[in-house]
A and B are shown apart, each in its own frame.
Chain A
Amino acid sequence: MEHITLLIGIVIVTALVFDFTNGFHDTANAMATTISTGALRPKAAVAMSAGLNLVGAFLSVEVAKTISGGIIDESAGIRPEVIFAGLVGAIVWNLLTWLAGLPSSSSHALFGGLIGATLVSVGTGGVHGEAVVMKVLIPAVAAPFVAGLAAMAATRLTYRLARGRDEADTAKGYRAGQIASAALVSLAHGTNDAQKTMGVITLALITGGVIAPHSDPPLWVIASAGLAIALGTYLGGWRIIRTMGKGITDIQPPQGFAAQTGAAATILASSHLGFALSTTQVCSGSVMGSGLGRKGGVVRWSTAGRMVAAWGLTLPAAGLVSAGAAFLADQGTWGVAAVAVLALAVCGAIWAASRRKPVDHTNVNEGPAAEPAGVVTTALQAVAPPPAGPLAAADTEPGAVVADPVPAAAQPAPAAP
């Protein structure tokens, strides 16, 4: 067993950073609606999700044999530099979308990064184009429709069945059910996404000759990947949680339950039937579907549109960053160092920008600040006016109820380091 070289060490650290951003980014999938319906307090929700992510990392018996599921030809000369460049692109894109508060797929960012880096370093032969379409594009396009329609039908049904019941009385039951569904999503996320990082680290160790090919990830790899994703989940991507829990539509407990159950059922059914759909798209789609399923519910299409645009950009944008990083890293040791320094600088800049308008567990349930009603939203409201009453008021003025804390929170933190 050889020593772990500096380069392999850098790749491992970068992979763990990606794992962290992955957890950070995808907390919203499991917990956004749980937080916005009040089923769990924000801190309790992320703590539960983090715990289940950690458990999930240890649960799976199927070891991540390939990091990319056949998208990259991993035998075509993937070196640690390529993996490193791919990870850098994925991390940068994850942080950028987090800054914008948009839920985008961390897996797509990783795939995009690896594809971009492989194209530059190895050439077009290293990427299986058909696998990109089959494993990334189709699942991403199909996911919001499948989950959205399921959640919409379920929302309709549950409102119809529970008609005439006291909302305050039923809300408790819905919230309890939602927690169970959210727990399943968290557990599935831990097994799937922590595995990806384990696969990346294991591949780096194999390419560096530290462990034998086709060997299982060592225990310290499993443990560190699980811890990194759990830590990221616990710190919570509050910006994305706010978008998914409040920004797309206003979620009532029955909708939250229907959306979360639809997401859990779709994720488990699709992966079990061998046609895995993208988790992020499934969860966003089910939230939109539950918004459409309630009478008078309004989906803010401007927010949804920005989200879909981010989905479309994820693969090429992460790929572009990684292609540049791979080009630099191929120049030798100084290139790798330059990529590392640049990546740190970009991450620092994004973090500094995020401090100007911090979103954390204290203000996560406030409506999107000064979100202008988009053209489509206005048009839809004109066509199908929501029934008058408190629901309509809540729909049109999401920030009105909590108007007071907004100015205080919106001020830039004066003593931000």
Chain B
Amino acid sequence: MHIDWAALGQVFGVSLAVTVGIVGLFTVGIVGTSRKPAADGEAAATTAPGAGARAGALAAFALCAAAVAYGIYLIVAT
């Protein structure tokens, strides 16, 4: 009986890295586009994200979309 530990470890590493990477990236996008609660005292007021945060968020979302496209490519190609 030969168990391919190397392949299993590779699957584990890649799955973990990709999942954490995509989720992290997507969260950066969400944080960049969501309103930030204002500092103490103005609980009701919120500030809209700045232009820089917005651009970073869009880049993050674009990378996520590219990952999805690559996923579809993998499904179609295999």
Contact = CB atoms under 8 A, between A and B. Distances in A.
Contacts, number: 135
Contacts of B34: 162, 165-166, 169-170, 173
Contacts of B68: 180, 184
A4 B48 CA distance: 68
B7 interface: yes
Given A154-B23, A157-B20, A270 B11 contact: yes
Contact of A258 (B4, B23, B37): B23
Nearest to B34: A169
A275 B3 CA distance: 11
B75 A153 contact: no
Contacts of A134: 3
A271 B75 CA distance: 9
Which interface class (under 10, 10 to 19, 20 to 34, 35 or more) fits A?
35 or more
A152 to B, nearest CB: 10
A162 to B, nearest CB: 5
Contacts of A268: 71, 74-75
Contacts of B12: 142, 145-146, 149
A275 B74 CA distance: 14
A146 B15 contact: yes
Among B31, B33, B75, B78: residue with most chain A CB under 10 A = B75
B1 A133 contact: yes
A273 interface: yes
A265 B18 contact: yes
Given A161-B24, A262-B19, A146 B11 contact: yes
Interface of B: 1, 3-4, 7-8, 10-12, 14-16, 18-20, 22-24, 26-31, 33-37, 46, 64, 68, 71-72, 74-78
For the complex of A and B, 3 pairs with smallest distance between CB atoms: A154-B23, A150-B19, A173-B30
Given A154-B22, A165-B34, A265-B22, 20 more contacts: A60-B78, A61-B77, A138-B8, A142-B11, A149-B16, A150-B18, A158-B23, A158-B26, A161-B31, A164-B37, A165-B31, A169-B34, A173-B26, A177-B64, A191-B75, A258-B23, A261-B26, A269-B11, A271-B74, A273-B14
